[in-house]
Homo-oligomer: A and B are copies of this chain.
Amino acid sequence: MATILSGKAVAESITEKTRAKAEELTAQGRQPVLLIVRVGEKGSDLSYERGVIRRAESAGIAVRVKALPETVSGEEMADVLREASEDPTVSGVLPFLPLPGHLNEKIILEALAPEKDIDGATRSSMLGVYAGSGEGYSPCTPEAVIRILDHYGVELSGKKVAIVGRSLVVGKPLAMLLLARNATVTLCHTKTADLPGETRQADILVVATGHAKTIRSAHIRKGQFVLDVGINFDAFGKMCGDVAFEEVEPFVGAITPVPGGVGTVTNAVLLSHVVDAAARAYAKDPLPKSKKTEA
């Protein structure tokens, strides 16, 4: 029986710190504010939005929503991000992605200031992760993986980590974050010749294939730590990860569940970025602009 690496415990610990920082800032007249920028009214976006609002408010973060029509132009959307970047009352901005097909995501996102890019979507944030330049924020999911390992006291330096999946939102940035923590990192993917051979060797296995139950008993060895980034739904509509949990769990040392694993922590990381952004803005400029104008 594996240790279940509950994301809930990690998320609670992160959120506790987030809440404490948020309260401190609020007491100084600077409550952290998250701005959600949503285009259209997709059901999945609306339900995600409700979740973010609930969690943010319970962490002491105020939320504003800028809802744009499906037909918004690239320039209008960029203007919204530009204004939010300059607005001292906005701490962090979360544009819901992907944007509708007529919008050039890459260009539009550049209107967002890296210091408010709490989900790591801008070029500056990518360079922060790749080149270690300290700009912007890491995407939340790979950072959640690191936070879980840290929470459960897993030393990363010198460890052998296999990542399955090479996307720009999980696999690649996670490789960079792990490398910065001195892990030895192997990036595997659909073209890897001997996937079970690769994954079995790792001390820590992170799975982000985007497909249900791609990692089975043949891929694991006794005692491993397995982190499952996937969020899929099986034939019965039940949420499941990228790992065949029931098959793998009896053998590995520790595993994150789905739901209740990496995804749960990802949300907490996002809010920690909002408060971090608010605290940095405060440190740089202790008087909010409106007050300075009065003075």
**Chain B residues, CB < 8 A from A160:** 193-194, 198
Q: Does A106 contact B (CB under 8 A)?
A: yes
**Chain B residues, CB < 8 A from A182:** 189, 191
**Chain B residues, CB < 8 A from A159:** 193
Q: Does A157 contact B (CB under 8 A)?
A: yes
Query: Given A126-B131, A130-B126, A130-B172, is A192 in contact with B186 using a C-beta cutoff of 8 Å?
Result: no
Copies of this chain per assembly: 2
Question: Are B193's CB and A188's CB within 8 A?
Answer: no
A143–B191 CA distance with the chains assembled, in angstroms: 21
Q: Does A133 contact B (CB under 8 A)?
A: yes
Q: Does A52 contact B (CB under 8 A)?
A: no
Q: Does A55 contact B (CB under 8 A)?
A: no
A193–B189 CA distance with the chains assembled, in angstroms: 24
A168–B188 CA distance with the chains assembled, in angstroms: 21
Query: Given A126-B131, A130-B126, A133-B106, is A186 in contact with B185 using a C-beta cutoff of 8 Å?
Result: yes
**Chain B residues, CB < 8 A from A185:** 186-187
Q: Does A89 contact B (CB under 8 A)?
A: no
Q: Does A267 contact B (CB under 8 A)?
A: no
Contact with B along A189-203 (1 / 0, CB 8 A): 101111000100000
Question: Are B192's CB and A188's CB within 8 A?
Answer: no
**Chain B residues, CB < 8 A from A188:** 184
Query: Given A126-B127, A127-B123, A198-B184, is A193 in contact with B133 using a C-beta cutoff of 8 Å?
Result: no
The closest CB in chain B to the CB of A123 belongs to B127
Q: What is the minimal beta-carbon distance from A186 to any residue of chain B, in angstroms?
A: 4
Q: What is the minimal beta-carbon distance from A190 to any residue of chain B, in angstroms?
A: 8
Question: Are B192's CB and A158's CB within 8 A?
Answer: yes
**Chain B residues, CB < 8 A from A176:** 172
The closest CB in chain B to the CB of A192 belongs to B184
The closest CB in chain B to the CB of A171 belongs to B179
A294–B89 CA distance with the chains assembled, in angstroms: 54
Contact with B along A148-187 (1 / 0, CB 8 A): 0000000001111000001010001001100100111111
A111–B264 CA distance with the chains assembled, in angstroms: 42
**Chain B residues, CB < 8 A from A166:** 179
Question: Are B193's CB and A158's CB within 8 A?
Answer: yes
Question: Are B191's CB and A158's CB within 8 A?
Answer: yes
**Extra 10 A-B pairs, beta carbons < 8 Å, given A157-B191, A186-B186:** A126-B127, A126-B130, A127-B130, A160-B194, A166-B179, A175-B175, A182-B189, A183-B191, A184-B187, A185-B187
